[in-house]
Amino acid sequence: MKISFKNKVEKKSTLIAFVCFEGKKVNLENIENNFIRELVSDFVNSKDFKNNKNISEEYNISPGKNTFKKIHLCKISGLKNSTDLELFGGKKFSELEKKKDLDVTVLIDEQKNIAGLEYNQIVASIASGFNLRNYSFRKYRSKVRPIRTSISSVSFIVNDPQKVEKKFNYYKSISNGIFLTRDLVSEPANELYPEKFVENCKKLAKVGVKLEVLDEKKIKSLGMNALLGVAQGSERPPRVLVMSWNGLPKSKNQKPIAFVGKGVTFDTGGISIKPSGGMEDMKWDMGGAGVVAGLMYSLASRKAKVNAIGIVGLVENMPDGKAQRPGDIVKSMSGQTIEVLNTDAEGRLVLADIIWYINKKVNPEIIIDLATLTGAIIVALGDRYAGLFSNNDSLAQKLTKSSINVKELLWRLPMDDDFDKLLNCDIADMKNITGTRGAGSITAAQFIKRFVGSTKWAHLDIAGVTWTNKGTAISRPGGTGFGVRLLNNFVEENYE
């Protein structure tokens, strides 16, 4: 679908949508058809328009011989920021695409200062919602089941197309990263494994991200035995991918901010094997790594003025004669030993080594890790919130603020010494599960914290928000890309 910005309505349009706020400055300059003008005037002056905060109507008209157009009229109110406008755009796109074979033209009220934004920003935000919702992952559909496009183009009619397009390009830069994340989590595991994940991220180099790949030999030499233990049952060798964006090359004294992602490209649970029902969903157990790759792509695409580094640990967790067993003890890169009581608590083992590695290598200002880590977080927070854990109140508050800004919601959970003690072990420094039923997400975060040191750190458990079976305002059923917009806003608000 092509999104464009123009200063006149084209005759090929099959649906014209009028978006009204107060109805006082409806954009009718480019509408030559008197019937359409009267229709819009009647709508904005009607009792229904005045008495309802949100309302929509649709008509079929015949502007000429053997031709028909759909006229869609809607009123919206109560929008507080650009995110609300994006969400509206996504919902409206979803509503309009139920029709078929449409070239859509959108005219938006020339009302200033809606949600505190100027007009060009309002249009760009709504267009971004259209763009985000339009994404679909259907690359494996063949000619046997052809894809029928419902909306082929959307044109927004504005006075200065170039200015609006410049605003829209900012959102498009962010969507580049969101779409990469959605692509990665949607790929089946036979097509996306550690080496292929790295290959799919080579596009980051084209926008200025420096890529460094650690192969199995290098990983072994560094002593990342916790990560290697997870990978040893698979025919697919592990990889660690480091992505560096140097947006402030002259600021030599500024510490980079680090983003860390769990990248288990398929998780059977290993010897502690999962039930077969729903195991297919474990293709997206690399969701944290997908978000980190998408975020780095977004930051570089929009030339963010920040020094950032992303690292992802890529493994496949499979049962095999060589696989790690419950009861095995591994020595992590930090030197701390871990008794692996459950091989299905593998993500924390991967994170332990790569967090330690990046912390020692670059001494970052902060570390934020993302992982589809626990089913317990889904029990606690469902599919609306990701779990937030942190050793720093200020960092947690900043992340929570950004989550509210972009409507990718976080909920902070507690951490303390009593939870930490549950990880203590008689024959090793720690065990990878507590053996108790409660507080599974919290004790998983406590485990990761043991490898962070004194660095300011936050852990986002995104198990419940990485995938949606019903879709959201700005995503179809499938991968959501949750985290890219959140962390982009976090960087923009606090480090640029």
Residues tagged active-site:
274, 348
Residue 91 token pair: 């919902």
Short-list 428, 465, 462, 474, CA closest to 447: 428
User: Is residue 490 within 8 Å of residue 402, measured between CB atoms?
Assistant: yes
Short-list 371, 386, 274, CA closest to 315: 371
Number of Cβ atoms within 10 Å of the Cβ of 55: 17
CA angle 113, 119, 122 (to 5 degrees): 90
Q: At residue 104, what are phi and psi to the nearest 5 degrees? A: -100, 135
From CA 472, how far away is CA 58, in angstroms rounded?
Answer: 24
